[in-house]
Amino acid sequence: MPGSSVTAFIGDSLTEAGRWQEWFSDEEVANYGVGGDTTDDVISRLSQVIEARPGTVVLLIGTNDLAWRRSAEHVVRNIETILVTLRRDLPDSQILVQSVMPRDRESAEIVREINRHLWQFAPSVRAQYLDLWPLLALPDGELNPEYSQDRLHLNDTGYEAWLSELRPALEALRGLPPSSRAIYLPKGLAGPT
């Protein structure tokens, strides 16, 4: 059984700007998102999360490492360290690791490489992996401009899209039946209106 009913969201400004308590109003939520954070920063403050003993941990980190020109290996190694530490210190907590989100097309290949490694590694620490790439990326690997004005931070439409994937992933992680809700379809896929 998880340590508590708290759901901890860990990450950078994408997480920090999320209105998690509003969107998950039936849960107790802790937002550990810090603008500008890299994977190194999350490692250095991971003890705060562990001390809170959350029942569920939702991790999204890595995009700021690219701005610092960190290699895919550096990002992957650090995220693996985060996941191993969480599993070791929170053995009964449920962990959801999300793919690094797309940003500009110049970063697409390194983000894909990072995400391939995370997808392969997640099961080894009993973490679920959520791939946000298919929903958020254009064919060239750039973050869909419908979801962002700066190819990095999400707008309200971007958060709606993210939530459309995150909610069912959390239900699956917790072994809950899918809830009834409208299915989100990005513009262009919604069919005739």
Task: Report which of residues 190 and 55 the model is more confident about.
Answer: 55
In 56-116, which ranges are E strands? 56-60, 94-98
- Least confident interval from 133-137, 167-171, 182-186: 182-186
- Its pTM surpasses 0.85: yes
Q: Which residue has the tokens 């072994």?
A: 175
pLDDT score recorded for residue 166 = 97
- Domains of the chain with bracketed CATH: 6-173 (3.40.50.1110)
Closest CA to 60 of 82, 29, 28: 82
Residues 15-69: tens digit of each pLDDT: 999 999 999 999 999 999 999 999 999 999 999 999 999 999 999 999 999 999 9
Structure tokens at 14: 């994408």
CB 83 within 8 A of CB 45: no
> 145 near 151, Cβ under 8 Å?
yes
Distance CA 114, CA 137 (A): 15
The mean pLDDT of 121-125, rounded to a whole number, is: 98
Contact residues for 164 (Cβ-Cβ < 8 A; gap 6+): 135, 183, 184
Which residues 6+ apart lie within 8 Å of 80 measured at CB? Answer: 121
